[in-house]
Amino acid sequence: MLGLGVTTLPIPRPERMPVTARRSRVTTARWLVPVLVLAACSSGEQAAPTSTPTTSAVSSGTTAPPEPPTTTTEVVPTTTEVPVATEPPPPPAPPPVDAMTGGAPSANVVIAAKIDNTFPGDQWGVGDADVVYVEMVEAQLSRLIVLFHTTLPAEIGPVRSVRTTDPDVLTGYGSPALMFSGGAGGPLDNFASSGLVNASPEVIGGSYWRSSAAREPYNLHANVAQVAAAVGGISVPRNPGFTFSDDAGPYAGQRDVSRVSAAFANPISFRWEDGVWKYVRRGSVQSDGATGAVVAFQNLLVQRTTAQKDGTVDSKGVASYKTNTIGSGSFTLYRDGKAVDGTWSRADAASPTSFVDAGGAPVNFRTGKTWVVLAPEQISMSEG
């Protein structure tokens, strides 16, 4: 150390000190040694700094107690997973239903037929129809437009002539075939330009015959199933505007009705019995001439409309009428023994008809068969 040029000062011999003073002196001695070392190194190069203090033994022989080991506890943060809100899956799509009945879909085409409604004999095949329209013709008499789809019967009748009302009604279902027997010039021209399929005897004569069930002209019968198999271009039906639900709850507060009458020149009526509507003609509930089954259905729709002369007159000079099913008006749907009032509207011949209640919501038909009375102002309706 002397070779480095460090001057060592003599340290006087300490007198006996109190314990407290000795402890203080020991502390001083602990820091003195590093200071001397640093001073000794200052003449050559500067000592590297250190961040750890040096602990030295004290000359008195007292050893500093070791510092207790430091224990470090690692704190692991706790993560709480917050559930992420997810949208519930969409409900499954409702199963498809048939456009005309609301039941299981049928792959059959739709075929309409003109059926007489004035003669006293039986009507054949009417009980198999999915939808039937009652229309006004000349002299305020009525005739039927009968639509077959889920069932295509082997015998219907009596088949009668086409009228100007028919195309507008039928194009609401797509491109059905129409079974009819002749007609006046105006109605025939109107039908020819409609896009409907001609299934008259002139096209498929082998499907028609004269029956012994009645006298001519009320005995022309035909086979619907044969027409469906032999005539091309017939469409499956599109929905004419019906919505279906068997839930009668929304209509529970509507008025009760068990009888509806239509004052055509040949009066007809309908009775709510045994959970169905039944067709009454000439004072009797009608049965199908082919099957003997009562003509029954789930929905009766009275569609109030307008009608005007179509320029056609019969052999007696009596004018025929066209009933308008394009436009708007009021209606009453009778289902489950209740009467539900609303308004109908239809933009054009290719569009379905909208049937809504007073609040603008669609009125639901029961699953099953439907009869529609097209009731212009010339025909009064009553219920009870």
Residue in the block written with tokens 């199963």: 95
* Strand 177-179 with 197-198, pairing: parallel
What are the C-alpha distances in Å from 38 to residues 46, 57, 72, 246, 354? Answer: 8, 18, 34, 104, 105
Q: Residue 202: what are its φ and ψ, rounded to 5°?
A: -65, -25
From first to last of its 384 residues, the chain has per-residue pLDDT tens of: 334 344 444 444 444 444 444 444 433 334 333 332 333 333 444 444 444 444 443 444 445 555 555 555 555 556 566 677 788 888 888 889 999 999 999 999 999 999 999 999 999 999 999 999 999 999 999 999 999 999 999 999 999 999 999 999 999 999 999 999 999 999 999 999 999 999 999 999 999 999 999 999 999 999 999 999 999 999 999 999 999 999 999 999 999 999 999 999 999 999 999 999 999 999 999 999 999 999 999 999 999 999 999 999 988 899 999 999 999 999 999 999 999 999 999 999 999 999 999 999 999 999 999 999 999 999 999 999
Which value, in Å, is the radius of gyration of the alpha carbons in the chain?
A: 50
Q: How many DSSP H helices and E strands does the chain contain?
A: 5, 21
Nearest to 159 by CA among 213, 101, 83, 230: 213
* C-alpha 224, offset from chain centre: 32
Answer yes or no: are the C-beta atoms of 209 and 221 closer than 8 Å: yes
Q: Residue 338: what are its φ and ψ, rounded to 5°?
A: -120, 160
Cα angle value 270/276/280 (rounded, 5°): 25
